[in-house]
Structure 1
């Protein structure tokens, strides 16, 4: 059975898409730890990120770097942090979380509220600042 992320890639489940290329997809997390919290995933469904072939892991990392650059340009955080935890969905993924202040809680368990209009605006702002 396809993972929820594969269903998002295939358009079966709506998402706030930020970026896409032939091998990767990036979209806003619907339970964001910060405004602009983005997930970067390979289109190839692999459960554990370290089961990706070295060239695939490298490509996902480079894709994530480009998305993080777009987040930095669009949202102006101090920096964009990264979490690779991988337990909640059996599909390799990288969390990119903007850090807006040095004392900001940095945890997947802490959710900030962002309205639907806010999510649409954030996705558009980030998308406009990504160079793939």
Structure 2
């Protein structure tokens, strides 16, 4: 069965996509820790990030860097934190999280509940920053 992320890739499930290439996709987390919290995934469905082949893994990080720079240019933050947990969805992914303090990356804390309109607006700003 395809992961939820594979279903986003195939557009079976909508997402607020901020960047896409032939091999990778970046979209906003719908339950973000902070505004601009973005997931970056390879389009190849592999459960565990360290089971990715070297080329895909390095490409994922290069793609994530481009996305992080876009996020950083439109979200007020000290930097973009990066984390890999990989337990919640069986599809390799990284979290890019705008942070001002270490606690901003605490997955145990209450998540934000942005509206669809707020997510769409944030996604559009990030997308424009990446493509400018």
TM over 0.5, shorter chain: yes
Q: CA RMSD in A?
A: 1.4
User: Are 2:34 and 2:104, in contact at CA under 8 Å, matched by a contact in 1?
Assistant: no
Please identify which structure carries the higher helix content. Answer: 2
Tell me the distance in 2 between the aligned counterparts of 1:37 and 1:53. Answer: 26
Question: What's the TM-score, normalizing by structure 2?
Answer: 0.94
- How far 1:105 sits from its partner (Å)? 3.1
Runs of 4+ residues over 6 Å off in structure 1:
none
Q: TM-score, normalised by structure 1?
A: 0.94
Structure 1 unmatched ranges of 5 or more: none
* 1:45-97 deviation per Cα after TM superposition (whole angstroms, max 9, x unaligned): 00000001111100000000000000001113110101100000000000000
Equivalenced residue count is 131
Alpha-carbon distance between aligned partners in 2 of 1:32 and 1:109, rounded to the nearest angstrom: 12
Task: After superposing the two structures, state which structure 1 stretch, 122-131 or 40-49, moved more.
Answer: 122-131
